[in-house]
Structure 1
Amino acid sequence: PLALGTISMRFAETERMYWNAPLNIVSYSNVRETAFRPWGEAFQPRRYCTAKVVLSDNKIHQIDYSIIEDSSFQGYTWGVEWCVNGLDRNLAYAPGCKMARP
């Protein structure tokens, strides 16, 4: 749940700051894990998940996200990366959010 809250907050901030769009994530459904450490134990732990989101424009999109253990010295924190299919405006995870999946 903490990861989803972080995604919601950062998504709204990115939409507002960079794209001048008033979009927010309103709700999540069908949240499920798709992979955990898909490249083996020797690599940085990542948990890949997918879900459906309803945005403030009432449109439904698929979201793919990963929760990543921080590679800092202590490793006490985590990070999250995500891609909302159809809203990857800077093509960071192109094509179609494929690069956000394992």
Structure 2
Amino acid sequence: MSTQPRLLALAATLMSLLLAPAHAGGLPSTANEPVSRLPMCDAPSVQGAVRHTIARGEPYYRGGIAIENMDLIDETGSARNAPSPVNRRYCRARAYLSNGHQYPVYYMIEEHGGFVGLSWNVEACLPGYDRWHVYDGNCRVVRR
């Protein structure tokens, strides 16, 4: 077999793999399992992402506070194809802040929100510390 027919056969094979439906070959479909690919609200990686999200704010914006610890972590809801096709998990927890106060923290874990859409992302909000209402009044964007 010459080189050109081999390349055409390889290209056809690759295209068929790329165009195959997501459920083919035993792979799970995200349409049927909306939040299964997202980590749970209390996963250590998610807690770290929440702390990082709050800590990365400008010192003027949040007064330099940081989350030292979290407990009472609970999932408050999830969304699939409503209104966006991006799957989301909504969570809340009690945050112990570096200034000695306790506040609720609301956060959303969103599928395909990470680097180049290959992983998940977290958006977090502390009511009363969102001076410019980035997450709308009372953290409405990340609450459910």
TM-score between both structures, scaled by the size of structure 1:
0.81
SS in 2 for 1:97: helix
2:79 matched residue in structure 1: 37
Using a 3 Å threshold, how does the CA distance of structure 1 residues 96 and 71 change in structure 2: closer, same or farther?
closer
- Answer yes or no: is 1:5 the counterpart of 2:48: yes
Answering whether residue 116 of structure 2 is matched by residue 65 of structure 1, we say: no
Report the 3-state secondary structure (helix = DSSP H, G, I; strand = E; otherwise coil) of the residue aligned with 1:67.
strand
Does the CA-based 8 Å contact 1:12-1:24 persist in structure 2?
A: yes
Q: Cα distance 1:39–1:55, how it changes in 2: closer, same or farther (>3 A)? A: same
Structure 1 residue 58 displacement after superposition: 0.7
**Structure 1, gaps ≥5 residues long:** none
Superposition misfits of 4+ residues, deviation over 4 angstroms: none
Any residues of structure 2 matched to 1:9-88 within 5 Å, and which?
A: 9-16=52-59, 18-19=60-61, 21-37=63-79, 43-70=85-112, 75-88=117-130
Q: Please say if 1:92 is aligned against 2:97.
A: no
What value does the CA root-mean-square deviation take over the aligned residues? 2.3
Aligned residues: 99
Higher normalized strand content (fraction of residues): 1
User: SS at the partner of 2:89?
Assistant: strand
* Aligned counterparts of 2:139 and 2:90: Cα–Cα separation in 1: 13
Q: Identity, % of aligned pairs?
A: 29
Structure with the higher helix share, 1 or 2? 2
Larger C-alpha radius of gyration, 1 or 2?
Answer: 2
**Alpha-carbon distance in 2 for matches of 1:55, 1:26:** 6
